Amino acid sequence: MLHKIASRPPRLWGAWLHFSHCRRLSTVEVLGRSYPKDKFTNITPSILSKLPTQLYTRPGHPLNTLKTTIEAHFPDYAHFSNLPALVSTYQNFDSLSFPADHPGRSATDSYYVNKDLMLRTHTSAHEVEVFCDGHKKWLLTADVYRRDEIDSSHYPVFHQMEGARLFSDDLNVSGDALARENTRLFSELSSEHVVLEDRTLVDSKNPYQEHHNKQLADLVTQNLKYTLSLLLFKLFAQAADPSSEAPLQIRWIPAYFPFTTPSYEVEVFFRHKWLEILGCGVIQQATLTNAKVSNEIGWAFGLGLERIAMILYKIPDIRLFWSEDLRFLSQFKPGEISTFQPYSRYPATERDISFWCPNDFHSNDFCDIVRDEAGDLAEEVQLIDQYHDKRKQGYVMSRCFRIRFRSMERSMEHAEINKIVITIKKRASEALRVEIR
Ligand code: DAH
């Protein structure tokens, strides 16, 4: 789930901020504090309004149940869920060895308050500070923010849980205890109805770290694999079809993250499909050195709560997590993972918007304007047509986006949609310099 878009230079944002009345302001207010704006500033009012929400604190909310279920699986870990979303670019990227040209740094992918401050794009942003505070076993839950497309599984705010564990990097100190623990975890796993498929090799593409003792790195990797396989068994086995005799299948595949090596992704075979559930790996020593705990070795993982909750509860649209509708909220009991019962949906209305685009056009910029104007009424934005015309100077590409509007809570008037569409067109032409067709 890490930023997948190809490398592209950061975009400058001074032009379109935000609503007309604050365009001249040189500061932006985030959670009651003012910060200077600059050409990187791209945080929008609709995103700012999400900051105080903390959905995962509401008892009975699926995100809360999932969080508390995972926390209960790690009773002797420190549990954090109150760290502010505003972080430095150092915390989010540099402390974790993200390369300078990593696409996640781009302002088309992340929300910036200014060039130094941003909304965290992942919970890994807090690894260094939590390790620095001396915690060796911990879980952290938080809202994270990414600029993205608009559809049933993407929302600019979602929730992640990060978990990590450190051991002394001296084999004589931690080796025996780790080996014993791994034997215990393995026998626990073997007694469950689960099949582990491990396609990972430690090789030059996914290596151990040079200065790590290989035997210890191997024990830490095993510990990571057994610990997380047991967690996934706990989460998925109870939700699996009880009439099925088949064991739960979990598979480990190699991955790449700038802040771990070796790195893995874990998938679960659930309701006839392999589903990617989490990313993890052995923490890069540079991260531990940044946290001033360089005599340790450890593992970390990060998972998306909405993604797992959508699978376990069969929740079809990510916007539902934000719904205040009692038909949604009253369905769930604290601590219980149950199947979502769909209720009748209000009708959708679609509108197409076509325009000529300047060369630096990015669809995430357009989606943010749609989000800002339509809020949760925007169900999906789809690129339905592109057209190339070399004769048109500076504007060679025409694109047509289809926006589907649907309220989760009420029927909408056409006049209301029309008004939103007019404003979207106006803002897109001013801020993104598109030429409406
Ligand atoms: N931060 C990653 C993301 O947002 C997930 C992740 C991968 C977290 C590997 C980790 C890790 O701690 O070790 O996609």
- Domain residue ranges in the chain: 48-329, 346-436
Ligand 1 near 124 CB (within 6 A):
yes
Identify the residue whose C-alpha is closest to ligand 1 atom 12: 301
State residue 139's pLDDT score. 98
Ligand 1 near 110 CB (within 6 A):
no
CATH 3.30.70.380 fits 346-436, yes or no: yes
State residue 24's pLDDT score. 59
State residue 43's pLDDT score. 95
Q: How far is the CA of 125 from the centre of ligand 1 (A)?
A: 10
* Ligand 1 atom nearest 279 alpha carbon: 7
Q: Label the pairing between strands 194-198 and 248-254.
A: parallel
Give the up-direction half-sphere exposure of residue 346: CA atoms within 13 A in the CB hemisphere.
14
Identify the residue whose C-alpha is closest to ligand 1 atom 7: 279
Identify the residue whose C-alpha is closest to ligand 1 atom 11: 280
Identify the residue whose C-alpha is closest to ligand 1 atom 10: 301
From the list 206, 9, 12, the residue with the least C-alpha distance to 102 is 9
Ligand 1 near 260 CB (within 6 A):
yes
C-alpha–C-alpha distance, residues 308 and 302, integer Å: 12
Identify the residue whose C-alpha is closest to ligand 1 atom 9: 280
Q: How far is the CA of 18 from the centre of ligand 1 (A)?
A: 31
Q: How far is the CA of 302 from the centre of ligand 1 (A)?
A: 4
Look-up: residue for tokens 């620095």?
A: 132
Ligand 1 near 1 CB (within 6 A):
yes
Q: How far is the CA of 160 from the centre of ligand 1 (A)?
A: 9
C-alpha–C-alpha distance, residues 31 and 391, integer Å: 48
Tell me the DSSP string of 316-384: --GGGGG---HHHHTT--TT--------PPPPPEEEEEEEEE-TT--HHHHHHHHHHHHGGGEEEEEEE
Which residue of 80, 124, 137, 303 sits with most ligand 1 atoms within 8 Å of its CB, as the best mutation to test the pocket?
A: 124
Q: How far is the CA of 266 from the centre of ligand 1 (A)?
A: 12
Look-up: residue for tokens 């999932």?
A: 66
* Ligand 1 atom nearest 144 alpha carbon: 4
Please tell me whether the peptide bond between 262 and the residue prior to it is cis, using omega within 30 degrees of 0: yes
Identify the residue whose C-alpha is closest to ligand 1 atom 4: 122
* Ligand 1 atom nearest 2 alpha carbon: 14
Q: How far is the CA of 121 from the centre of ligand 1 (A)?
A: 10
Ligand 1 near 104 CB (within 6 A):
no
**In angstroms, what CA-CA distances link 159 with 62, 64, 383, 423?**
12, 11, 27, 30
Question: Which CATH fold topology does 48-329 show?
Answer: BirA Bifunctional Protein; domain 2 (3.30.930)
* Ligand 1 atom nearest 124 alpha carbon: 1
* Ligand 1 atom nearest 283 alpha carbon: 13
Helix residue ranges, H only, 44-147? 45-48, 62-73, 89-92, 127-132
Identify the residue whose C-alpha is closest to ligand 1 atom 3: 2
The vertex-3 CA angle with 133 and 406, nearest 5°, equals 110
3-class secondary-structure state, position 139: strand
Token duo for residue 197 = 């498929």
Regions of the chain with pLDDT less than 70: 1-25, 242, 394-395
Q: Label the pairing between strands 378-388 and 397-405.
A: antiparallel
Q: What percent of the chain has pLDDT over 70?
A: 93
Identify the residue whose C-alpha is closest to ligand 1 atom 6: 302
C-alpha–C-alpha distance, residues 121 and 160, integer Å: 10
